[in-house]
Amino acid sequence: MTERIVLAYSGGLDTSVAIGWIGEATGAEVIAVAVDVGQGGESLETIRQRALGCGAVEAYVADASDEFANEYCMPTLKANALYQGHYPLVSAISRPVIVKHLVKAAREFGATTVAHGCTGKGNDQVRFEVGIQTLGPDLKCIAPVRDLALTRDKAIAFAEEKGLPIETTKKNPYSIDQNVWGRAVETGYLEDIWNAPTKDIYDYTAAPEFPPAPDEVTISFEAGVPVAIDGVKVTPLQAIKELNRRAGAQGVGRIDVVEDRLVGIKSREIYEAPGAMALITAHKHLEDITIEREQARFKATVGQRWSELVYDGQWFSPLKRSLDAFIEDTQRYVSGDIRMTLHGGQAIVNGRRSETSLYDFDLATYDTGDTFDQSMARGFIELWGMSAKVASGRDIRVAGK
């Protein structure tokens, strides 16, 4: 029987050429797998037809946008995950859901190998292949760009020579990856890290310099998940989309960073994640009133480690799963409303309320009638400083010798 390979297919030039390229290099039949993670653009049907037109024997297309929002974006939100303090893991969280569908398709169509269009320099090859190794340990991986010398020039020549139903003239100088959680743009002019991004780079956000009137929004959460916007019930996917639209119109969520790739390269990336950044900001502020201090401090460390694991392609790892259990436990009381103003590139919280709040007005107030006994503070401070005081006594003693 002819060997079969499932290919992660985007519908773009490189993966369209990869179908025939892999076929010629390996003699295998190629099955194209296209997954909708809310990236917008062409319909799955258009992509399916193109895959078949480019020589795929079958096309597997899946609308995974709700699955992606529920099972990938929501855990990222609960973790307040920002890799290196900036990046809400847009591409990093979409790879594992694509991997799930690749493995499913491989089983359905009896494939032995999984192919993807990544280069050998980025994180995404790692995320795909580590994911495949974990969910389908018997499956092999191949990357035509990296392993079968499929360069951009050769791709264009191949597409023209074979008359593939794909545009080869439209030259986009950037490498772009996008889904409902955000958008990532790199390469070209941006590789000079002193160059400011030009206007044409952005798509999810309007220029924050010229904002429309301020937009006040109330986001309601239940156990860490957004459930309503301005009182209207929403699914996680709807919440992200609605905030992409409203925060995007105000230029919220533009990020320009040089980040540390897993492969050891520092790289410049422009992100736009209006919905994700508005949601993370709101969620963090709700945690500030509903999570106990020590749990909150520890959770920040856990969230950082979680972000690194996910960035590094360890979505399906045991440690990531254990951290998920911790994070999930912290979300029990993260319910309530956050009111925020979206304006001029900023999402600023200005009101919060929760039935499960730990904010105690009577303890906090400086007005008369507070219930906090200030006389307790003296003894507490004495003991709290004791250890450092004893050590400093030792320092003085030793220095005096």
- Max Cα–Cα distance, the chain, nearest Å: 88
Q: Could you give the CA distance from residue 102 to residue 287 in angstroms, rounded to a whole number?
A: 36
Is the Cβ of residue 25 or residue 176 nearer to ligand ARG in the bound state? Answer: 176
Q: Could you give the CA distance from residue 334 to residue 73 in angstroms, rounded to a whole number?
A: 17
Give the residue, chosen from 92, 278, 327, 340, that forms a contact with ligand ARG under the rule CB under 6 A. Answer: 92
Q: Could you give the CA distance from residue 348 to residue 341 in angstroms, rounded to a whole number?
A: 5
Question: Does the protein bind ligand ARG through residue 112 (CB under 6 A)?
Answer: no
Q: Cα 289 to chain center, whole Å?
A: 25
Q: How many of the other CB atoms lie within 10 Å of CB of 170? A: 7
Q: Is 177 a catalytic residue?
A: no
Q: How many of the other CB atoms lie within 10 Å of CB of 24? A: 13
Q: Is 14 a catalytic residue?
A: yes
Closest to 62 (Cα-Cα) out of 90, 84, 39, 87: 39
Selected range binding ligand ARG among 25-33, 182-190, 226-234, 340-348, rule: CB under 6 A: 182-190
Write down the least CB distance from residue 267 to ligand ARG, Å: 6
Q: What is the per-residue DSSP string for 292-320? A: -HHHHHHHHHHHHHHHHHHHTT-TTSHHH
Catalytic residue among 4, 48, 95, 268: 95
Pairing of strands 336-343, 346-353: antiparallel
Write down the least CB distance from residue 283 to ligand ARG, Å: 21
Question: Does the protein bind ligand ARG through residue 123 (CB under 6 A)?
Answer: yes
State the burial class of residue 401 (Cβ atoms within 10 Å of its Cβ: 0-12, 13-18, 19+).
exposed
Is the Cβ of residue 64 or residue 184 nearer to ligand ARG in the bound state? Answer: 184
Binding mask 316-345 for ligand ARG (x = CB under 6 A): ------------------------------
Catalytic residue among 36, 124, 177, 312: 124
Write down the least CB distance from residue 186 to ligand ARG, Å: 4
Binding mask 140-179 for ligand ARG (x = CB under 6 A): -----------------------------------xxx--
Question: Does the protein bind ligand ARG through residue 272 (CB under 6 A)?
Answer: no
Binding mask 186-225 for ligand ARG (x = CB under 6 A): x---------------------------------------
Q: What angle do CA 195, 198, 201 make, to 5 degrees?
A: 115
Is there a contact between 190 and 174 (Cβ–Cβ < 8 Å)? yes
Closest to 8 (Cα-Cα) out of 120, 137, 142: 142
Q: What are phi and psi of 280, to 5 degrees?
A: -65, -40
Q: Could you give the CA distance from residue 52 to residue 174 in angstroms, rounded to a whole number?
A: 27
Q: Is 95 a catalytic residue?
A: yes
Is the Cβ of residue 9 or residue 221 nearer to ligand ARG in the bound state? Answer: 9
Write down the least CB distance from residue 73 to ligand ARG, Å: 14
Catalytic residue among 4, 10, 14, 183: 14
Question: Does the protein bind ligand ARG through residue 269 (CB under 6 A)?
Answer: yes
Give the residue, chosen from 98, 184, 282, 309, that forms a contact with ligand ARG under the rule CB under 6 A. Answer: 184
Q: Could you give the CA distance from residue 241 to residue 243 in angstroms, rounded to a whole number?
A: 5
Is the Cβ of residue 16 or residue 123 nearer to ligand ARG in the bound state? Answer: 123
Catalytic residue among 146, 175, 256, 317: 175
| Amino acid found at 62 | A
Q: Is 260 a catalytic residue?
A: no
Contact residues toward ligand ARG (CB under 6 A) are: 91-92, 123, 175-177, 184-186, 269
**Residues with catalytic annotation?**
14, 95, 124, 175
